[in-house]
Amino acid sequence: MPLVTPLSADHDLETKKLAEFFNETLGFCPNSVLTMQRRPAISKAFINLNKAVMANEGRVTSALKRMIAWVSSNATGCRYCQAHAIRAAERYGAEQEQLDNIWEYRTHPAFSEAERAALDFSLAASQVPNAVDATIQKRLHEHWDEGEIVEMLGVVSLFGYLNRWNDSMGTTLEGDAIESGNQFLGKHGFEVGKHV
The pLDDT tens digits of the residues spanning 72-98 come to 999 999 999 999 999 999 999 999 999
In a domain, 38, yes or no: no
Q: CB of 82 within 8 A of CB of 101?
A: no
pLDDT score at 16: 95
pLDDT score at 17: 96
In a domain, 102, yes or no: yes
Q: Where in the sequence is the domain holding 163, given as residue range(s)?
A: 61-188
The span from the CA of 117 to the CA of 105, in Å, is: 10
Question: pTM for this one?
Answer: 0.96
Inform me whether the pLDDT recorded for 69 exceeds 90.
yes
In a domain, 95, yes or no: yes
In a domain, 136, yes or no: yes
pLDDT score at 13: 95
Determine the straight-line distance between the first and last CA of the chain, rounded to whole angstroms. Answer: 7
pLDDT score at 134: 98
Q: Domain tally for the chain? A: 1
In a domain, 141, yes or no: yes
Q: CB of 78 within 8 A of CB of 168?
A: no
The span from the CA of 79 to the CA of 174, in Å, is: 12
The span from the CA of 23 to the CA of 76, in Å, is: 26
Mean pLDDT of 100-125: 98
Mean pLDDT of 171-195: 96
Residues 6+ apart with CB under 8 A from 35: 2, 4, 5, 6, 7, 169, 171
Inform me whether the pLDDT recorded for 1 exceeds 90.
no
DSSP, collapsed to helix, strand or coil, labels residue 21 as helix
Q: CB of 126 within 8 A of CB of 156?
A: yes
What CATH code is carried by the domain that includes residue 117? 1.20.1290.10
pLDDT score at 167: 97
pLDDT score at 162: 98
In a domain, 37, yes or no: no
In a domain, 56, yes or no: no
Mean pLDDT of 114-139: 98
| Average confidence score pLDDT of the chain | 97
Residues 6+ apart with CB under 8 A from 159: 69, 72, 73, 76, 81, 85, 126
In a domain, 123, yes or no: yes
